[in-house]
């Protein structure tokens, strides 16, 4: 585990005046703080929790690596490139746990393939990692590492700080007020102190979002709560739930990953059921990150349900693997490693803010929405947005053009979030039809592949591309109404440059 080089009882000033206040000290928040410091902006980095902590979002795709390489070069972030290649173990820093990402495997299980026995029921779909790097990060470690780099760059770090209000100042900007837990650590345990009041004046606010896989809390309302931004949840088609944890002693699956027969324990493996999927990925220290996803059902009072939020009774089997043969046996032999409280299962996964930027504030993707982890877009989308927002503030800071630039940022982020939702929801609708589900995965990968060829050339997942938007919309409308063969033919016709991706088994 990475041990941050700032003491846990570090006490920031109770009053601060700065250019930018960043809410959320995860990877995205700490990264934008470092970029802003490189541009000469004074920064307050504010988080309601303590680092390191358990979080979701661990896949560094080749596209994300390319974006982060561009960020490192533009803002002289010399600490960042070593994190992009896990070949030398702890190159990023002592205790930053990582692993290789050779590609992604999607394997049909049970009813998806028709045998119901809990073993892989057909030929898996294999998507090799192609391009610059591919890695897995222990998110708790890398979040803490990035926060430490922000502190080293002279961002003022307010951890364990709950913000209660954000008032607009008459001359522009905001006054943030809240409290900070300043308990000290003594040999016998915590030394309790009353929460200390905090006042932070900032010209611009950035919300980087809560830890991956979690929702907002009373002590972390984010800009949506502080500024009264509208809720946009009703605009999302995705309705899913997720249970996730870290395990030790999880045996690897018996699946190849590529023509070279690379081991599957260096791939991200998805076991696809008729009602969702189970994913496993592995770090070099032997820890495995696992997640089980499925469709969300509205709780019915007094009726035992399938959701993992405790509303209809706790799962006896939180990952719902009992009865799935070898997969259940492998999982059953493993040992829970993190978090200490047991597997995380927060209910419906989705949230969405209806307004993602204004003249003097902006949300990064993790603050703007949580859509679905199916395609693991978190780190990649964050890197793209940090690159865009960092350049925007560097070029337009304090100029009349800043408001219009932020309007464009908001429109772009809205389109990108709509794209992520539009690619995830049809995949869930296709569960139980393996060939159609394969097409849904390949449609996402076609967009990601186009971006990887020109990492700064367009919006995330071709969100601005009218041809791709039409193809994706047509596909979504056809799932459940048209055969996989018909859907594949339509995709080949609309996206001829990616036609070889859209085949179906005879």
For 219-249, write each residue's pLDDT tens digit.
789 999 999 999 999 999 999 999 999 999 9
Question: Using a CB cutoff of 8 Å and minimum separation of 24, what contacts does 217-223 make?
Answer: 217/48, 218/162, 219/48, 219/162, 220/23, 220/24, 220/48, 220/49, 220/162, 220/163, 221/163, 222/23, 222/24, 222/353, 222/367, 223/23, 223/166, 223/353, 223/361, 223/363, 223/367
- Whether the per-residue pLDDT at 260 is higher than 90: the answer is no
Examine residue 275 and state whether it is found in any structural domain, yes or no. yes
CATH number at residue 363: 3.50.50.60
- Whether the per-residue pLDDT at 42 is higher than 60: the answer is yes
Structure-block tokens of residue 90: 């702890």
Residues 6+ apart with CB under 8 A from 93: 2, 79, 82, 145
The confidence band for 310, taking pLDDT boundaries of 50, 70 and 90, is very low
Q: What is the DSSP string of 190-234?
A: EE--PPEEEEEEEEEEEE--SSTT---BTTB-HHHHHHTPPB-GG
Please check whether residues 313 and 274 belong to one and the same domain.
Answer: yes
Q: Distance from first CA to last CA of the chain, Å, rounded?
A: 48
Output the pLDDT for position 393.
98
Please check whether residues 215 and 257 belong to one and the same domain.
Answer: no
Angle, helices 466-478/434-452, rounded to nearest 10 degrees: 170
Examine residue 321 and state whether it is found in any structural domain, yes or no. yes
Residue 94 phi/psi, 5-degree rounding, is -55, 125
Output the pLDDT for position 87.
59
Domain span at residue 365 reads 1-97+138-237+350-397
Output the pLDDT for position 212.
76
Examine residue 496 and state whether it is found in any structural domain, yes or no. no
Please check whether residues 53 and 86 belong to one and the same domain.
Answer: yes
Please check whether residues 189 and 211 belong to one and the same domain.
Answer: yes
Count of domains for the chain: 2
Task: Output the CA torsion sign for 239, 240, 241, 242.
Answer: negative
* Contact between residue 364 and residue 386 where contact means Cβ atoms under 8 Å apart: yes
Examine residue 371 and state whether it is found in any structural domain, yes or no. yes
Average pLDDT over residues 476-480: 98
- Whether the per-residue pLDDT at 130 is higher than 70: the answer is no
The confidence band for 262, taking pLDDT boundaries of 50, 70 and 90, is low
Task: Label the pairing between strands 15-23 and 196-207.
Answer: parallel
Average pLDDT over residues 166-195: 81
Please check whether residues 244 and 372 belong to one and the same domain.
Answer: no
The confidence band for 32, taking pLDDT boundaries of 50, 70 and 90, is very high
Average pLDDT over residues 361-378: 96
- Whether the per-residue pLDDT at 410 is higher than 80: the answer is yes
Of 316, 338, 360, the one marking the end of a domain is 338
Closest CA to 65 of 44, 48, 82, 78: 82
pLDDT over 70 for what percent of the chain?
Answer: 84
Average pLDDT over residues 15-26: 98
Who has greater pLDDT, 88 or 470? Answer: 470
Examine residue 476 and state whether it is found in any structural domain, yes or no. no
Report the distance separating Cα 361 and Cα 388, nearest Å: 14
Tokens 């939180």 correspond to 318
The confidence band for 187, taking pLDDT boundaries of 50, 70 and 90, is low
Please check whether residues 218 and 165 belong to one and the same domain.
Answer: yes
Cis amide leading into 339 (omega within 30):
yes
Average pLDDT over residues 379-397: 97
User: Which range has the worst mean pLDDT, 94-103, 124-133, 137-146?
Assistant: 124-133
Average pLDDT over residues 495-499: 95
Of 338, 361, 381, the one marking the end of a domain is 338
Please check whether residues 159 and 232 belong to one and the same domain.
Answer: yes
Structure-block tokens of residue 11: 């006490």
Task: Give tens-digit pLDDT for 319-332.
Answer: 999 888 888 999 99
- Whether the per-residue pLDDT at 175 is higher than 90: the answer is yes
Please check whether residues 219 and 147 belong to one and the same domain.
Answer: yes
Mean residue pLDDT of the chain comes to 87
Question: Using a CB cutoff of 8 Å and minimum separation of 24, what contacts does 192-200 make?
Answer: 195/162, 196/14, 197/14, 198/14, 198/15, 198/158, 198/161, 198/163, 199/14, 199/15, 199/16, 199/175, 200/15, 200/16, 200/17, 200/18, 200/21, 200/44, 200/46, 200/158, 200/175, 200/176
Output the pLDDT for position 436.
97
Who has greater pLDDT, 274 or 188? Answer: 274
* Contact between residue 94 and residue 83 where contact means Cβ atoms under 8 Å apart: no
Structure-block tokens of residue 97: 């746990």
pLDDT over 90 for what percent of the chain?
Answer: 64
Examine residue 477 and state whether it is found in any structural domain, yes or no. no
Examine residue 464 and state whether it is found in any structural domain, yes or no. no
Output the pLDDT for position 500.
95
Report the distance separating Cα 443 and Cα 425, nearest Å: 12
Report the distance separating Cα 123 and Cα 438, nearest Å: 11
Residues 6+ apart with CB under 8 A from 100: 86, 87, 134, 135, 136, 266, 284
Q: What angle do CA 424, 383, 143 make, to 5 degrees?
A: 100
Please check whether residues 260 and 123 belong to one and the same domain.
Answer: yes
Output the pLDDT for position 284.
87
Please check whether residues 268 and 162 belong to one and the same domain.
Answer: no
Helix (H, G, I), strand (E, B) or coil at 481: coil
Please check whether residues 246 and 290 belong to one and the same domain.
Answer: yes
Output the pLDDT for position 506.
59
The confidence band for 117, taking pLDDT boundaries of 50, 70 and 90, is very low
Please check whether residues 85 and 28 belong to one and the same domain.
Answer: yes
Tokens 């809205």 correspond to 414
- Whether the per-residue pLDDT at 135 is higher than 60: the answer is yes
Report the distance separating Cα 95 and Cα 145, nearest Å: 9
Report the distance separating Cα 475 and Cα 471, nearest Å: 6
Closest CA to 244 of 325, 368, 140, 159: 140
Residues 6+ apart with CB under 8 A from 480: 429, 430
Average pLDDT over residues 27-55: 96
Q: What is the DSSP string of 438-457?
A: HHHHHHHHHHHHHHHTSTTS
User: Which range has the worst mean pLDDT, 27-31, 51-55, 231-235, 439-443?
Assistant: 51-55
Task: Give tens-digit pLDDT for 283-302.
Answer: 988 999 999 999 998 664 54
- Whether the per-residue pLDDT at 201 is higher than 50: the answer is yes
Output the pLDDT for position 256.
61
């Amino acid at each position: 585990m990475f041990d941050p080089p700032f003491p846990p009882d570090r006490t920031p000033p109770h009053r601060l005046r700065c250019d930018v206040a960043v809410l959320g000290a995860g990877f995205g928040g700490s990264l934008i703080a470092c970029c802003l410091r490189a541009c000469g902006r004074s920064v307050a980095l504010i988080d309601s929790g303590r680092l390191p902590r358990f979080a979701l979002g661990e896949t560094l795709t080749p596209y994300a690596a390319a974006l982060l390489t561009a960020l490192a070069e533009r803002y002289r972030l010399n600490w960042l490139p070593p994190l992009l290649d896990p070949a030398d173990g702890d190159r990023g820093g002592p205790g930053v746990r990582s692993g290789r990402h050779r590609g992604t495997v999607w394997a049909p299980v049970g009813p998806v393939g028709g045998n119901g026995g809990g073993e892989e029921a057909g030929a898996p779909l294999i998507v090799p990692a192609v391009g610059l790097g591919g890695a897995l990060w222990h998110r708790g470690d890398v979040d803490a590492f990035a926060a430490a780099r922000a502190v080293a760059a002279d961002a003022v770090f307010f951890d364990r700080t709950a913000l209660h209000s954000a008032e607009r100042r008459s001359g522009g900007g905001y006054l943030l007020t809240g409290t900070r837990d300043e308990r000290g650590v003594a040999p016998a345990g915590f030394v309790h102190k009353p929460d200390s009041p905090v006042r932070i004046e900032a010209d611009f606010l950035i919300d980087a979002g809560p830890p991956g896989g979690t929702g907002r809390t009373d002590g972390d309302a984010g800009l949506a709560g502080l500024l009264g931004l509208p809720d946009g949840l009703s605009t999302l088609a995705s309705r899913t739930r997720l249970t996730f944890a870290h395990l030790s002693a999880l045996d690897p699956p018996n699946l190849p990953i590529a023509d070279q027969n690379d081991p599957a324990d260096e791939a991200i493996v998805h076991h696809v059921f008729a009602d969702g999927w189970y994913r496993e990925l592995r770090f070099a220290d032997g820890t495995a990150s696992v997640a089980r996803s499925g469709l969300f059902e509205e709780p019915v009072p007094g009726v035992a349900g399938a959701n993992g939020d405790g509303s209809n009774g706790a799962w006896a089997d939180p990952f719902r693997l009992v009865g799935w043969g070898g997969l259940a046996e492998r999982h059953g032999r493993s040992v829970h490693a993190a978090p200490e409280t047991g597997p995380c299962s927060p209910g419906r996964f989705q949230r969405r803010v209806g307004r993602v930027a204004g003249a003097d504030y902006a949300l990064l993707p993790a603050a703007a929405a949580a859509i679905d982890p199916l395609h693991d877009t978190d780190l990649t989308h964050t890197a793209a947005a940090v690159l865009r927002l960092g350049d925007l503030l560097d070029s337009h800071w304090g100029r009349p053009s800043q408001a219009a630039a932020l309007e464009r940022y908001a429109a772009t982020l809205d389109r990108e979030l709509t794209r992520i939702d539009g690619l995830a929801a049809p995949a869930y609708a296709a569960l139980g039809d393996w060939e159609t589900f394969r097409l849904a995965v390949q449609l996402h990968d076609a967009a990601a592949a186009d971006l990887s060829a020109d990492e700064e050339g367009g919006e995330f997942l071709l969100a601005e591309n009218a041809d791709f938007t039409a193809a994706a919309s047509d596909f979504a409308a056809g799932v459940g109404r048209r055969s996989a063969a018909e859907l594949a033919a339509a995709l080949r016709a609309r996206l001829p440059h990616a036609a070889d991706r859209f085949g179906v088994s005879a």
